[in-house]
Amino acid sequence: MAYSVAPLERLIEHFASMQGIGRKTAQRMAFEVLALSEEDAARFADDIRDARKNIKYCHICQNLSAQETCTICSNPLREQTTICVVEDVKAVMAIEKTESYEGVYHVLHGTISPMEGIGPDQLKIKELLARITPQTQEVILATNPTVEGDATALYLSRLLKPMGVKVTRLAYGIPVGGDLEYADEVTLSRAMSGRSEL
């Protein structure tokens, strides 16, 4: 009979139910919680409740936000005329980290994937179309370079182009620091066809 303490067991279950967290890691994490001061544990608990309760989607770009409108959409220094369309919030965070983009975002919350039964209606596509105005200068399709990401980008470009907006796609190619020898054929041929003059 395995020894278990009910409250500890419940805590381990919560951690173990997360993707990529195995039973051993969950157990170790639960022990770390026990080692916290009582105030720190209470703060941890409050923050979980708080995050789940107070984080919503920005009503404009569908990004995670603590307010009705996220800090990017409400920032007057950002170019509201350039919209970068991404699959998920992690992509927003990744692009923001580069500090090289000054426009705004639109988060689709997924990609079109017939295999998983996800069609255009499950994504935030009509919210994107509603944002396109005559002032919109460019829509950058920054979905991932996967079959689903490409299909979604193609689908969107067909909807957007008739609206008279410039539609672009992120560049494909050899990653910086990469080695031609180890690049896969598809990436290499895309890098070749996307070559630019020096």
Tokens of 179: 């080695």
47 vs 178, beta carbon nearer its own copies:
47
> Shortest distance, CB of residue 64 to its own copies, whole angstroms?
5
φ and ψ at residue 34, rounded to 5 degrees: -65, -30
Q: Does 130 sit near its own copies (CB under 8 A)?
A: no
Site string for its own copies, 77-106 (x = CB under 8 A): ------------xx-xx--xx-x-------
Burial class (CB in 10 A: 0-12, 13-18, 19+), 175: exposed
Contacts (CB under 8 A) with its own copies, residues 20-49: 20-21, 25, 27-34, 36, 38, 41-49
Nearest to 141 by CA among 154, 125, 131: 154
Closest CA to 166 of 154, 174, 157, 175: 157
Which residues are at the interface with its own copies (CB under 8 A)?
A: 1-3, 5-8, 10-11, 14, 18-21, 25, 27-34, 36, 38, 41-55, 63-66, 70-72, 89-90, 92-93, 96-97, 99
